[in-house]
Amino acid sequence: MQSGLKAIFVVAMLLARILDPRPADACVVCISLPEASLGDRLLSADVIVLARPSPDNAFRYILAEVLKGTKEQVENLPEIPFLVDSTTRKMFLSDPDRTVLFVYGAESQDQAGRKLSKGWRKLFLMSAERSQFVEILQSHGVHWKPGIGGTSERIQFFANYLSSEDRVLRDTALVEVYRAPYALVRQTNVSALTDQLFDDIGSIQRLNYAPASIRLLGLQTDPDAIEVVRSRYLARLKTAGPNLHEWALAGIEVDGTFAITAIDGWVTQADWPSEDKLILIRALSDAGSAIPEFRPQIAEVYERVLGADVSLAGQIAFAMRDWNDDRLDPLFRELLAREETEPATRFVLQLVLEPED
């Protein structure tokens, strides 16, 4: 009984690791991009309002305008629980017409996406650019669902703010573009200011945005960006570590087949940790999805990887399936026939091969 439960647990963990679209880089400082972006908060909100300090109590917010929902809805909701802090109060003293944007909606949800609780959330102090952002998002994003962006229209909307001087809007754009499918981002031809990306990568205060900025750096065409990517991805391959996935992907953008060959030299080493190999396999998979002409070379790398480490067969099988590429199916069947193939790996291979078999 215990062995059966252990096998089920191993399979579940392997599938979770394989199917999770986010890079699995281990980081000494565990800082990551937020699960929900500011755009998600606005898109999923039941009510969106603007508020300002009460004339009777400078520490209390009162309703100024309803942007989504109705006044009747707002009256039936709990009062905005936030107090006007000293920094915001100074802003209002210098400009009494400014407002703060609040949303009322889901605070958390379970793994099935069901909303567990609701409440007020303070998003930001309004400005002319932020007002325009909210207005356009409400009109253009009426059919966009919160979560990972899957349309070029959504990516392009947020990408317009990648070079914004407004840190709040730019950070929102970084989160949105990073979470979107890489192939789709590449097709959308997003652009950013290279100097801003350099600042993100070089600042410890911007550590959580570094993965997004590295990915965008690989898509830049100016010589400075290319030079930095070329030196950094080769150094990262030697040491592994944080943002290995992003540097490898950026390197493939800059150096193409040469970078894939360089990755091949590391990922096929028998003494390299499986977790680092898995990260590079994901980078190759993303590159192959975005740039189909690289798939034959990447498939050859995958074949050599399996010659050194069969435990990675599941991730490789899913990558090939996503490409609708069956050139490694004979090898997968061979692995499936081996008695020593682990149950979790066997399960994944059967799952990939089943439609054809």
- Kindly report, residue by residue over 335-346, the tens digit of the pLDDT: 988 888 888 888
Q: Which helix (H) or strand (E) holds 53?
A: strand 47-53
Say what the pLDDT of residue 108 is: 58
**Is pLDDT at 261 greater than 90 in this prediction?**
yes
What's the pLDDT at 68? 94
**pLDDT score of 115:** 57
Residue 34: its pLDDT value, please?
66
Mean pLDDT lowest among 44-48, 54-58, 158-162: 54-58
Spell out where 25-87 has E strands. 47-53, 61-68
Q: Residue 83 gets which letter from DSSP?
A: B
Residue 1, pLDDT > 50, answer no
The pLDDT, as a whole number, for residue 33 is: 67
Q: Residue 22's pLDDT is what?
A: 44
Examine the pLDDT at 139 and tell me if it is beyond 70.
yes
Is a pLDDT exceeding 50 seen at residue 20? no
Query: Does the pLDDT value for residue 46 go beyond 50?
Result: yes
With a CB cutoff of 8 Å and minimum separation 6, the contacts of 65 are 49, 50, 99
Q: Can you give the pLDDT at residue 237?
A: 93
Mean pLDDT of the chain: 86
pLDDT in tens, 61-106: 999 999 999 999 999 999 999 998 888 888 888 888 899 999 998 7
Q: Tell me the range of 92-101, 112-121, 145-154, 279-288 where mean pLDDT is highest.
A: 279-288
pTM of the model: 0.84
Q: Residue 31 — very low, low, confident or very high, per pLDDT cuts 50/70/90? A: low
Q: In one letter, which amino acid is 150?
A: G
Mind giving me the DSSP string for 278-293?
A: HHHHHHHHHHHHH-GG
What share of residues in the chain are helix, strand, coil (percent, to 5)? 60, 10, 30
Q: Answer yes or no: is pLDDT of 15 > 60.
A: no
What is d(CA 73, CA 103) in angstroms, rounded to the nearest whole number? 12
Contact 192, 220 (CB under 8 A): yes
Closest Cα partner for 209 from 196, 198, 200? Answer: 200
Taking residues 238-263, what's their average pLDDT?
A: 95
